[in-house]
Structure 1
Amino acid sequence: MLKRLLILGGTGEASALVRILPPGVEATLSLAGRTSAPKAEPVPMRVGGFGGAEGLAAWIAANRITHVIDATHPFAARMGANAAEACTRTGTPLLAIRRPAWDPVQGDRWEEVATMEAAATALGPVPRRVFLTVGRQEIGAFAGAPRHTYVVRAVESVSLDVPHLTTIAARGPFAEADEAAFLRDQNIEILVSKNSGGPATYGKIAAARDLGVRVIMVARPPKPDVPSVTDVSGALVWLATP
Structure 2
Amino acid sequence: MSGQVLVLGGTGEARRLAAALVAAGVDVLSSLAGRVADPVLPEGDVRVGGFGGAGGLADWLATHRPRAVVDATHPFAARITASAAAAAARHGTPLLRLQRPGWTPGPGDRWTYVDSLDDAARAVHDAGTVFLTTGRQGVAAFAALPGRVLVRAVDPPDGPLPAGAVLLLARGPFTVDEEAALMREHGVDVVVTKDSGGAMTEAKLVAARRLGLPVVLVRRPPLPAGVEVVTTVEAAVTWVTGPG
Range of TM-score over shorter length: over 0.9
Superposition map of 1:22-61 within 5 A: 22-61=23-62
Moved over 6 A (4+): none
In the other structure, the counterpart of 2:132 is 132
Structure 2: distance between partners of 1:23 and 1:208: 40
Q: Which AA in structure 2 matches 1:60?
A: L
- Asked whether the 8 Å contact 1:2–1:26 carries over to 2, the reply is no
Deviations 1:71-95 (A, max 9, x none): 0000011111111111111111001
Superposition map of 1:73-84 within 5 A: 73-84=74-85
5+ long unaligned stretches in structure 1: none
Cα deviation for residue 24 of structure 1 reads 4.0
Please, what TM-score do these two structures have when normalized by structure 2?
0.94
Structure 2: distance between partners of 1:30 and 1:100: 22
In the other structure, the counterpart of 2:105 is 104
Please, what TM-score do these two structures have when normalized by structure 1?
0.94
Closer, same or farther: CA 167–124 of 1 in aligned 2, 3 Å: closer
Matched, 1:202 2:214: no
- Asked whether the 8 Å contact 2:115–2:218 carries over to 1, the reply is yes
Q: Secondary structure at the match of 1:19?
A: helix
Structure 2: distance between partners of 1:206 and 1:234: 28
5+ long unaligned stretches in structure 2: none
Cα deviation for residue 155 of structure 1 reads 2.0
Q: Which AA in structure 2 matches 1:178?
A: E
- Asked whether the 8 Å contact 1:101–1:195 carries over to 2, the reply is yes
Q: Which is further off, 93-102 or 42-51? A: 42-51
Task: Tell me the number of residue pairs that the alignment of Structure 1 and Structure 2 aligns.
Answer: 240
Q: Secondary structure at the match of 2:120?
A: helix
Cα deviation for residue 144 of structure 1 reads 2.7
Cα deviation for residue 219 of structure 1 reads 0.5
Structure 1: distance between partners of 2:163 and 2:53: 36
Matched, 1:152 2:136: no
Superposition map of 1:90-239 within 5 A: 90-125=91-126, 128-145=128-145, 147-158=146-157, 160-225=160-225, 226-239=227-240
Q: Which AA in structure 2 matches 1:133?
A: T
Structure 2: distance between partners of 1:176 and 1:10: 24
- Asked whether the 8 Å contact 1:94–1:227 carries over to 2, the reply is yes
- Asked whether the 8 Å contact 1:109–1:213 carries over to 2, the reply is yes
Structure 2: distance between partners of 1:205 and 1:13: 20
Cα deviation for residue 2 of structure 1 reads 5.9
- Asked whether the 8 Å contact 1:129–1:151 carries over to 2, the reply is yes
Cα deviation for residue 161 of structure 1 reads 3.4
Cα deviation for residue 98 of structure 1 reads 1.4
Cα deviation for residue 125 of structure 1 reads 3.0
Structure 1: distance between partners of 2:193 and 2:33: 21
Q: Secondary structure at the match of 1:167?
A: strand
Deviations 1:45-101 (A, max 9, x none): 111211111110111121221110000000011111111111111111001111111
Structure 2: distance between partners of 1:217 and 1:41: 29
Deviations 1:167-209 (A, max 9, x none): 1121101111211111111211110010001111110001101
Cα deviation for residue 160 of structure 1 reads 3.0
Q: Which AA in structure 2 matches 1:174?
A: F
Structure 2: distance between partners of 1:124 and 1:186: 18
- The percentage of aligned residue pairs carrying the same residue is 47
Q: Which AA in structure 2 matches 1:164?
A: G
